[in-house]
């Protein structure tokens, strides 16, 4: 057995055949995570001392990451006592993961390659989640992960944004075959991309593509409890290539947010912001030292935003992200 020590001095033991993430979970210590299958960067952590070995081939970390002793906690197994530059999630409640049946109740095409799907849950399903989490949708032997796009006050209806990927098995089903009342299974909730308790003045949400889904979920939850957030400033910065790719904007009853759509390949008649969402954040002259950032979308956007914001005084533990990983 090896001793694993976190930045906040919490410790737990881990044997040589167990990943750091699983050992922490077995000791009721929850670390940042998402896919738990070495396909994203949500559980990346820096090893301050000690040695690890990967459970399986490492694909998402760069050579620079590896040189600087970063590992994925869901993939790294200890070879010695380990000290990590990370804190756990503290007293945050994670609801029990379960598998439940569901039926399609809404199929709505939003753009050429994005569709809204609403799944109806059984009345007694008692499905609870934190706004921003995701589920696995299961159809036969195909399983794909999708972020929930409505708040946790869902009344047994879960909303999803589905992108049509070339050769994508699940997206082909939704775009070409799905019918109202089709039966699917859900597994969840999963992930740690949700709002943290914050004493910070500013909260910035960044999204590209269907990364809008968990941001929408979090914002709808905030809107319902807006009284406790009246003294905060909110930015919602959404990126797309073309104007036709923009399929959602905030429609909140109580919470005031500054919404900024950004196009990377705008037509000549576009009068809004141009470029990339992370660059537009800096144009707002936000005090990043007093800010939390929540980013969801492509790995490239998230990595670029993280590097840019850290150089401009954002604290590393105030950047939360959920990278979407394409699978067929």
Tens-place pLDDT, residues 110-136: 999 999 999 999 999 899 999 999 999
Q: Which residues contact 250 (CB under 8 A, 6 or more apart)?
A: 216, 219, 236, 257, 259
- Whether the CB-CB separation of 158 and 186 falls below 8 Å is answered with yes
DSSP string computed for 34-75: SSSSSSSSTTEEEEEES-EEESS---SS-HHHHHTTEEETTT
How large is the C-alpha radius of gyration of the chain?
20
Give the C-alpha separation, 292 to 306, whole Å. Answer: 12
Residue-level length of the chain: 328
Query: Per-residue pLDDT tens for 260-304?
Result: 999 999 998 999 999 999 999 999 999 999 999 999 998 889 989
All domains of the chain, ordered by start, with CATH? Answer: 2-84 (3.10.20.30), 98-190 (2.40.30.10), 202-323 (3.40.50.80)
Condensed to tens digits (0 to 9), the pLDDT of residues 78-110 reads 999 999 998 888 877 789 899 999 999 999 999
Q: Mean pLDDT over all residues of the chain?
A: 92
Distance separating alpha carbons of residues 200 and 11, to the nearest angstrom = 28
Q: Are strands 202-208 and 233-240 parallel, antiparallel or unpaired?
A: parallel
What distance, in Å, lies between the first and last C-alpha atoms of the chain? 39
Distance CA 4, CA 82 (A): 5
Q: pTM of this prediction?
A: 0.87
């Amino acid at each position: 057995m090896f001793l694993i020590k976190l930045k906040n001095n919490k410790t737990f033991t881990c044997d040589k055949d167990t990943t750091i993430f699983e050992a922490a979970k077995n000791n009721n210590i929850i670390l940042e995570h998402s896919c738990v299958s070495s396909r994203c960067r949500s559980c990346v952590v820096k090893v301050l001392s000690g040695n690890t070995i990967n459970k399986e081939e490492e694909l998402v970390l760069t050579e620079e990451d590896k040189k600087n002793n970063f590992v994925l906690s869901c993939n790294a197994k200890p070879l010695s006592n380990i000290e990590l530059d990370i804190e756990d999630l503290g007293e945050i409640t994670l609801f029990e993961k379960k598998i439940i049946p569901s039926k399609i109740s809404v199929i709505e095409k939003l753009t050429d390659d994005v569709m809204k799907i609403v799944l109806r849950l059984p009345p007694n399903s008692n499905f609870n989640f934190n706004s921003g989490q995701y589920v696995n949708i299961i159809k036969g032997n195909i399983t794909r992960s999708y972020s929930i796009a409505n708040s946790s006050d869902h009344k047994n209806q879960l909303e999803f944004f589905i992108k049509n990927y070339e050769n994508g098995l699940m997206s082909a089903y939704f775009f070409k075959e799905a019918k109202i009342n089709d039966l699917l299974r859900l597994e969840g909730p999963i992930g740690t991309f949700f709002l943290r308790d914050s004493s910070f003045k500013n909260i910035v949400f960044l999204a590209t593509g269907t990364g809008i889904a968990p941001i929408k979920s979090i914002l709808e939850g905030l809107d319902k409890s807006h009284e406790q957030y009246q003294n905060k400033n909110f930015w919602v910065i959404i990126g797309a290539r073309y104007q036709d790719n923009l399929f959602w904007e905030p429609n909140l009853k109580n919470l005031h947010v500054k919404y900024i759509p950004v196009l990377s390949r705008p037509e000549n008649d576009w009068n809004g912001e141009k470029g990339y969402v992370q660059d537009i954040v800096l144009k707002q002259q936000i005090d990043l030292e007093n800010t939390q950032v929540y980013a969801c979308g492509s790995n490239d956007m998230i990595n670029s935003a993280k590097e840019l914001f850290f150089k401009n005084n954002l604290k590393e533990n105030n950047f939360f992200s959920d990278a979407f990983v394409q699978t067929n």
